[in-house]
Amino acid sequence: MSIANPPPLQPMLARLMGETTEKTPFWLMRQAGRYLPEYQAVRQKAGGFLELCLNPDLASQVTLQPIERFDMDGAILFSDILILAYGLGQNLRFDEGIGPILTPIRDLSGIHALNHSGFESKIAPVLETIKNLKRALTPSKTLIGFAGAPWTVTSYMIEGKTSRDFRHSKQFAFTQPDQFQILLDMVTDHTIIYLTRQIEAGVDCVQIFDSWAGMLDEESFTHFVIKPTQKIISALKTRFPACPIICFPRHAGLLLENFCQACPADAINLDPSVPLDVALKLKETHIVQGNLDPIRLLSGGPDLEKTILRWLDKMGNNRYIFNLGHGILPETPPEHVTRLAKVIKDHGIGNDALSK
Ligand code: CP3
């Protein structure tokens, strides 16, 4: 088969592959969500958040909403990291104003109560969403698949809800290390299957969210964050060497260096606490993504613009993708995102364009 017109390379994918591009590509974590009235409308139609994640037509629609409004370079699949727990047969629901609620796993019997025989059929709607999106998206847009990192997903499975200090997860790990390892391995192996299926269905790159990486000491960080992440990267790179992998070890602090040395991800999303100088240094080994404080986006005004421009100017025209340092907050005025998009798009074409 001859390829007369090869598809134009996506700006975000080009940066992930280390190429220099004129404009800085951008997308925002949680770019589809409650801050958009059009999201609220579709969510209501779906009946609930989990129902929305499992409805390929509606999930595709909400994935595309921010791209239609703000023209981001990346579209992140609309789903949730806890779909993995649901796929493993754990009871999952999302309560309004509270968040995820799962039947907590606290011992071996809780692990045995899981039933992963239905895993493939439970994740099927998500793969259907990816296929829909692949058809609907402009070829210059990058479709981002994702999963939670094993530590973050396992900790939700143990806690049963969002936690302040993750004491049940840590206590489980410290008092029943063999059982904890069984659960962590089960999550890791299914994350590999889940991301493999997403890449087969058509995503252009994947991001691994380790939102609670920063809760661990060095020893635990090595075993619960680094080791499972290495296993996932190695399995995906063996099968899909060209598919970029972005890791987000949030609030890893001084352990970020250990993470970056040990995990051969293509790109790292930085949280807001990572200094600009550290980001510049990291560019030597990884593509950098991040790290605007979501509260600066919520706040808007001249401060927002100044902060965006400082990073754009310093990070230059390669090895950097603009993003937030954590998910967009539901109270964020959509006009602030409009402004952010304009500042990024106009960057480098003269400051006059920015004055209006
Ligand atoms: O980024 C995107 O636009 C894609 C979709 C996406 C969601 N969750 C949608 C969502 C992604 C990538 C996630 C990841 C996710 N989910 C993480 C990792 C990133 C992070 O934020 O730390 C975590 C820890 C979760 C688990 C989760 N899902 C929690 C704790 C909550 C409740 C908190 C909240 O914001 O309400 C959710 C719900 C959730 N996931 C919503 C959305 C849009 C809100 C659900 C709603 O519409 O009510």
Domain at 303, CATH number = 3.20.20.210
For β-strands 92-95 and 74-76, DSSP reports them as unpaired
* Helix ranges (DSSP H) in the chain: 11-16, 37-46, 49-53, 56-70, 83-87, 108-112, 119-136, 150-159, 167-175, 177-201, 218-220, 227-239, 256-262, 276-282, 294-299, 301-315, 334-346
Residue 3 lies in a domain: no
pTM: 0.95
Indicate whether residue 145 lines ligand 1 (CB < 6 A).
Answer: no
DSSP calls for 33-63: STTSHHHHHHHHHHSSHHHHHT-HHHHHHHH
Please give the helix or strand (H or E) that residue 324 lies within, else none.
Answer: strand 320-324
Rounded alpha-carbon distances, angstroms, from residue 334 to 88, 188, 225, 288, 301: 36, 36, 34, 25, 13
The answer to whether position 95 is within a domain reads yes
Side chain identity, residue 44 = Q
Structural domain containing residue 67 = 11-354
> What whole-number distance in Å separates Cα of residue 300 and Cα of residue 333?
9
The whole-angstrom separation of Cα 90 and Cα 80 is: 14
Give the closest residue to 46 by CA, choosing from 35, 60, 67, 31. Answer: 60
Helix (H, G, I), strand (E, B) or coil at 301: helix
Judge whether 1 lies within some domain. no
Domain membership of residue 283 (yes or no) is yes
Which residue has the least CA distance to atom 20 on ligand 1? 211
Whether residue 79 is contained in a domain is answered as: yes
Q: Does any domain span residue 6?
A: no
Q: Residue 2: what pLDDT?
A: 47
CA torsion through residues 11, 15, 18, 20, sign = positive
Whether 35 contacts 332, CB under 8 Å: yes
Mutate to test the pocket of ligand 1, among 65, 77, 81 (most ligand atoms within 8 A of CB): 81
Nearest 5°: phi and psi at 13? -65, -40
The yes-or-no answer on residue 210 being catalytic is no
Q: Who's near 307: CB < 8 A, 6+ residues apart?
A: 292, 293, 296
Establish if 5 belongs to a structural domain.
Answer: no
Residue whose entry in the numeric block shows the structure tokens 């100088």: 277
Residue by residue, pLDDT tens for the chain (356 residues) are 445 666 558 999 999 999 999 999 999 999 999 999 999 999 999 999 999 999 999 999 999 999 999 999 999 999 999 999 999 999 999 998 899 999 999 999 999 999 999 999 999 999 999 999 999 999 999 999 999 999 999 999 999 999 999 999 999 999 999 999 999 999 999 999 999 999 999 999 999 999 999 999 999 999 999 999 999 999 999 999 999 999 999 999 999 999 999 999 999 999 999 999 999 999 999 999 999 999 999 999 999 999 999 999 999 999 999 999 999 999 999 999 999 999 999 997 654 444 43
* 189 CA from centroid of ligand 1 (Å): 22
Q: How far apart are CA 279 and CA 315, in angstroms?
A: 8
Is 43 assigned a catalytic role?
yes
Distance 355 CA to ligand 1 centre (A): 35
Establish if 4 belongs to a structural domain: no
Q: What's the pLDDT score for residue 348?
A: 76
CB-CB contact of 202 with 134 (8 Å): yes
Residue 80 known to be catalytic:
yes
Instruction: Please answer whether residues 64 and 129 qualify as being in contact, where contact means their C-beta atoms are separated by less than 8 angstroms.
Output: no
Nearest-10 Cα torsion for 62, 25, 130, 271 = -80
Q: Whole-angstrom Cα distance, residue 71 to residue 53?
A: 22
Catalytic residue among 73, 80, 204, 266: 80
> Per the structure, how many domains does the chain have?
1
